Amino acid sequence: MKEKRMTLPRTAALFGIGAAGYCLLEILWRGHTHWSMGLTGGACLVGLYVLHGRLRHLPLALQALAGAVLITAAEFCVGCVVNLLLGWNVWDYSGWRVQLLGQICLVFSALWYVLSFGVMGVFRLAERRL
């Protein structure tokens, strides 16, 4: 199947859905969010869409693993900037087991896998239906 081009409207729609969706998840999970998480969530959903397009030949479980790595890497990079460099203290995983600099931890990487599995599954289903 031919890969769909990333047009500006498609990218903007995915970004907006990812930004709103992630902020909503965070509000439900911990009761508040930060605007930087909206930007990160939007960028991650666009990244997951691109990953899905490039990895569509792989099983869904491997696509989800790649997605979890992408989200964890984004969380680490954003965390290093907003938390360590700028001192905004948006989140801190330093009290969690198996964490790195308080910015990422294994528990949340596992949750990103579950989230990625669902998102990649939706992309796969939409691709087959459309």
List the structure tokens of 38: 């909206």
What's the pLDDT band for 89 if we cut at 50, 70, 90?
very high
Longest dimension (CA), the chain: 46
Residue with tokens 């479980």: 61
Q: Check: CB of residue 41 under 8 Å from CB of residue 113.
A: no
List the structure tokens of 66: 């790649």
What pLDDT, in 10s, does the model give residues 15-67?
999 999 999 999 999 999 999 999 999 999 999 999 999 999 999 999 999 99
Report the range of poorest mean pLDDT among 1-5, 37-41, 114-118.
1-5
Asked if the model's pLDDT at residue 118 lies above 70, the reply is yes
Residue with tokens 């930087």: 36
